[in-house]
Amino acid sequence: MTADELLNIHVPNKRVELVRGVPMVREPAGYIHGRVTMNLTARLVLFLERQPPGPAGQLIAAATGFTLAKAPDTVRSPDIAYFRPGKVPDPETPGFSDAAPDLVVDVLSPEDRTREIQERAGQWLVAGTQVVWVVDPRRQTTHIYRSDGTEEFVGPEGSLRGEDILPGFTCPLEAIM
């Protein structure tokens, strides 16, 4: 299947991604997943609204698909995505954007497996994403993967930092869990 064909299928109450041309149907997210995603999104929105006038970049909602690879096509949809100013795709982009967000957040669901999580993070980084936050609500931790190959583990007492992508942003994990 191609990214264009994926745009035209509808699986009620399911989330569908495309991995190397194969559709991957996922169950809707559970309550904890939705709560943690919204809590972090709200903190990111407030942070961006408090920035000095000028372009703030663009925060993208969950379930938005991005084409990460072609022939065979891979389309992934993060829980949160952010583009820095100057990298925001054309707002009239039809279908899935080929631009990789600068920051991707993946909030884990109970059925996610370690190998799959690492594969998703790797696909984002290969496509051009700079930082991937993999938030684990059950363990109240986050794994951070960076395009320079470094990784970081943030425990329950730690905080997320915006690094070069969102300078000045910090968020204690306990605030979103």
Looking at domain 29-64+75-176, its CATH architecture is Alpha-Beta Complex (3.90)
Euclidean distance between the first and final Cα of the chain, in Å?
37
- pLDDT value of residue 24: 92
From first to last of the 177 residues of the chain, give the pLDDT tens digit: 999 999 988 888 888 999 999 999 988 889 999 999 999 999 999 999 998 887 789 999 888 999 999 999 999 999 999 999 999 999 899 999 999 999 999 999 888 888 889 999 999 999 999 999 999 999 999 999 999 999 999 999 999 999 999 999 999 999 999
**Which pLDDT value is given to residue 26?**
86
pLDDT attached to residue 54: 78
pLDDT at 169: 97
CA–CA distance, 38 with 40 (Å, rounded to integer): 5
Radius of gyration for the chain, computed over Cα atoms and rounded to the nearest angstrom: 16
Residue ranges covered by each domain of the chain: 29-64+75-176
For residue 92, the Cα-to-chain-centroid distance in whole angstroms is: 21
pTM for the whole thing?
0.95
